[in-house]
A and B are shown apart, each in its own frame.
Chain A
Amino acid sequence: MSLRWVAVWRRNMLVWRKLMAASVLTNLADPLIMLFGLGYGLGVLLPSIEGMPYIVFFAAGSLCTATMYTASFESMFSGFSRMHGQKTWDAILYAPLVIDDIVAGEVMWAASKAWLTGSTILAVIVVFGFAASPLVLLTLPAAFLVGLAFSSIGLVMTVLARNWDFFSFYMTLVMTPMMMISGVFFPAERLPAPLLAVAQALPLYHGVELVRPAIAGRLPEQPLLHVLVLLGYAAAGYSLAIYFARRRFSE
């Protein structure tokens, strides 16, 4: 694969830099309000969960969810706007780039932006003293993997979409239920076995399973499994996004 996708990544980066203040605010305000609101509010009622204060427990889930949402919003809504509304992709295709380069650039960009959201929440976690040890830094690569998985899946939705409504199906029917069963708000192990099995087949659960021990100062129990599942979703999503993008742009 050529490195032509970097020019696409840099194009999106330049837009982000111009609109940085608004972008950072919207990407962070929501998860931080949730983290402190739910963490402290609900935390009063739940003195400790898995041996940690509720807000520390929830911090891992909040970080992963925020990373997932940034990756998904960027690859779907912003991506669709570039592809469909602004016809930015068409303009890029007159240059010596092919659709595969654009898909790679968009996936890497959305993952980078998601990683930035995850890292900023991590900084908040560290500043507020929720992290137990330097092992918390394992969150950085984990957040990138979560970002990569959801950017790739999001871009599949984008290249399949005919209009904006298409995304609400994925968000309402996939993302929201996934968030409920992936150990974000409460331990997934409390779920009935079939629901836990569903959660374990989905990427968000594995992100949380990597990040929560890292914040608590432990190594994840099955790091390889979690990394492989996230990478698997990223690889499958990326391949499907390329397949459907080629089909869409050969019309």
Chain B
Amino acid sequence: MNVLSARGVRKAYGANEVVSGVDLRVASGECFGLLGPNGAGKTTTLKLCLGLIKPEAGDIELLGEPVPRRAREARTRVGVVPQSDNLDPDFTVAENLLVYGRYFGMAAGDIKARIPALLGFAGLAGRADSRISTLSGGMKRRLTLARALVNDPQLVFMDEPTTGLDPQARHLIWERLRKLTQEGKTLVLTTHFMEEAERLCHRLAIMDRGRIIAEGSPRALIAEHIESQVVEVHGSGHEAWMERAKGICPRVERAGDTVYCYAEDAEPVLQTLAGQSELVYLHRPASLEDVFLKLTGRDLRD
């Protein structure tokens, strides 16, 4: 069963079309990732799915409700973790949850009964009366996640949930998100961290310039779009070596002073490197990042 579906969705700001005909289906219980470089239209797509902005064309259905017409009804069963934290700085940790629950029409008693479990989940037990300004970045992010769960949503949207966090904080968030999917909640997240997408998402869509250009599981995307082995080479003489490699390797790319060779069998490429002490190389399996860079290019976006 789909909890979210979008068909032919378009959104333009003036002459600038930000979302150009997006189709999406997210099944109940899955973790779905929307990947793309900055400005690809990921955040706009999330806002469209939530009914916060109106599309010029297309149909969106969120938890069985047509959006934007009945977005308000749909949002009673949805949680949102935005890209930048907008916790209420005037309140303590617990007050943030209480006030947020009231926006869903929940009774104060029901919210207060949920607060200890929410704080426990967020690793903030004992911080109920702390002021927001005393929390670290990771704590704020976890509180924002707890806030998104106050109404016990079926579906949680997350816009770049770990951007700006250190590795410890990031791993803790990942662990909590996996726990949510184990509990049967559906997650839709945007990210430009390939590692995050590879670890968390059952299925991904890669978005660029307002369009979805590839879709599938992380493994399927790698298998479908890219050779399985990568050899990265840099150091003096890499240009000369690149000319040789072009004859052996099916796909060779250069970015700055690094040469990337993509092949199903890297052995012939590695042989050409033997004894070339001035060249530094790394042989590794292809990753989602290679797919991403192949599909969206290596040019900077902002």
- Please give the residue numbers on chain A whose beta carbons come within 8 Å of chain B beta carbons, in ascending order: 4, 7-8, 10-11, 14-15, 18-19, 86-88, 90-98, 249-251
Contact = CB atoms under 8 A, between A and B. Distances in A.
Interface residues of B, number: 30
Q: Is the interface of A mostly helix, strand, loop or mixed?
A: helix
B185 interface: no
Contact of B105 (A4, A86, A98, A249): A4
B254 interface: no
B73 A96 contact: yes
A56 B250 CA distance: 93
Interface of B: 13, 50, 52-54, 72-73, 75-76, 78-80, 82, 84, 86-91, 95, 99-100, 102-105, 147-148, 151
Given A4-B105, A86-B89, A96-B73, A251 B100 contact: no
Nearest to A86: B89
A7 B86 contact: no
A145 B91 CA distance: 30
Most chain B CB within a 10 A radius of its CB, from A8, A93, A94, A98: A94
Contacts of A7: 99, 102-103, 105
A250 B51 CA distance: 10
Given A15-B90, A18-B90, A251-B13, A96 B84 contact: no
Contact of A97 (B13, B89, B103): B103
A250 B75 contact: no
B82 A250 contact: no
A148 B146 CA distance: 36
B52 A91 contact: no
B99 A90 contact: no
Contact of B99 (A4, A11, A19, A87): A11
A10 B88 CA distance: 14
B88 A96 contact: no
B75 A96 contact: yes
Contact of A90 (B53, B86, B91, B104): B86
Nearest to A11: B99
A92 B82 CA distance: 12
Contacts of B72: 96-98
A91 B82 contact: yes
A87 B86 contact: yes
Nearest to B147: A91
Given A11-B99, A86-B89, A88-B88, A93 B82 contact: no
B110 to A, nearest CB: 14
